[in-house]
Structure 1
């Protein structure tokens, strides 16, 4: 099957996710700067989640540059990823509205780890559709950054019960780790 519809659908869903997240930020009633202060946690959560959604969109785009075709399993794996990404507006809003309460931070981490697992499964499904010597297979390699990210999420989730700010710092570190787009695919496709 051709990959074009999958890419277009994914782009649309991700655009809607970002739109929903920004619509969750309510306009304050006051007109002075102090009326913005209660929105600071909500805004910080939005920024972190916007960066995460942007990272997923960017890496999804790069990944599909090396993909030649897809099969039914890839469609389901992609929907699995989009499911977890679609939960970002909920966990972002809940965490921000409750000022980084421990349970909200843990659940946010749970959605982060599940999105990472879903992305990993998508990559594995794509690899199964392509030859062992394909550009995709060469580009993916051992995916060290992906495994490190999963480990950091796994550490951050239980830490949120006692030290939610440490968990937020860990989640932010993973975002910084991925801020520069994954260059493995670009390197393989250029050579």
Structure 2
């Protein structure tokens, strides 16, 4: 399948999920700064989810600039990832309303981990379906640094289940920032060569 059509579809899904996500944020109870600040966990949860979605879009946009076709395996992995990211608004709001709930923390972390794993699998599938693409061969998609966000999330799970209930929530924020930084560093290193 040609990537132009698929990229347009994936972009639309990301845009819809972000729109649903922002529409789930309630208005402050009154027009005061205190009422606005009462929703701070909602805003941080939104920020985490927005950054996840934006980073997925950005990474895939850059990847699809280098390839012209993808195979059915890649399409299926992206299909599963699309299903998972469509759940992000639901679990974001659940977490934001119950930041000290172990179940809400767990599901938010699971959605984040599954999204990261599916994105990694999808990227690898794109590489496999384009073995002779010289532009892809230049990029190091096997960097061990790409595992650091997952390690941080695992630490968040340990914190949530031992000493600090919002551990996953905090780890997800740190993980997405780390994911963005690592992606930028890898792209910079690959284009300097």
TM category (shorter chain) comes to 0.7 to 0.9
Structure 2 contact 95–108 (Cα < 8 Å) conserved: yes
Task: Write the deviation string for residues 140-169 of structure 1: whole angstroms up to 9, x where unpaired.
Answer: 342323222222223322432232333333
Structure 2 contact 109–153 (Cα < 8 Å) conserved: yes
Query: Is 2:126 the counterpart of 1:123?
Result: no
Give 1:171's aligned residue.
172
Task: Write the deviation string for residues 41-63 of structure 1: whole angstroms up to 9, x where unpaired.
Answer: 11111111111111111111111
Give 1:98's aligned residue.
98
**Counterpart secondary structure, 1:57:** helix
| Compared CA separation, residues 26 and 111, structure 1 to 2 (3 A) | same
Give 2:83's aligned residue.
83
Distance across 1 between alignment mates of 2:184 and 2:130: 20
Structure 2 contact 91–108 (Cα < 8 Å) conserved: yes
Structure 1 contact 113–150 (Cα < 8 Å) conserved: yes
| Aligned residues between the structures | 191
Aligned-pair RMSD on alpha carbons?
2.2
Distance across 2 between alignment mates of 1:143 and 1:38: 40
Query: Is 2:178 the counterpart of 1:160?
Result: no
**Counterpart secondary structure, 2:38:** helix
Structure 1 residues without counterparts, runs of 5 or longer: none
Q: Using structure 2 for the length normalisation, give the TM-score.
A: 0.87
Distance across 2 between alignment mates of 1:164 and 1:137: 43
Structure 2 residues without counterparts, runs of 5 or longer: none
Distance across 2 between alignment mates of 1:99 and 1:170: 13
Greater mean alpha carbon deviation, residues 153-162 or residues 19-28: 153-162
Q: CA deviation at 1:190?
A: 8.0
| Compared CA separation, residues 82 and 100, structure 1 to 2 (3 A) | farther
Structure 1 contact 62–182 (Cα < 8 Å) conserved: no
| Compared CA separation, residues 40 and 54, structure 1 to 2 (3 A) | same
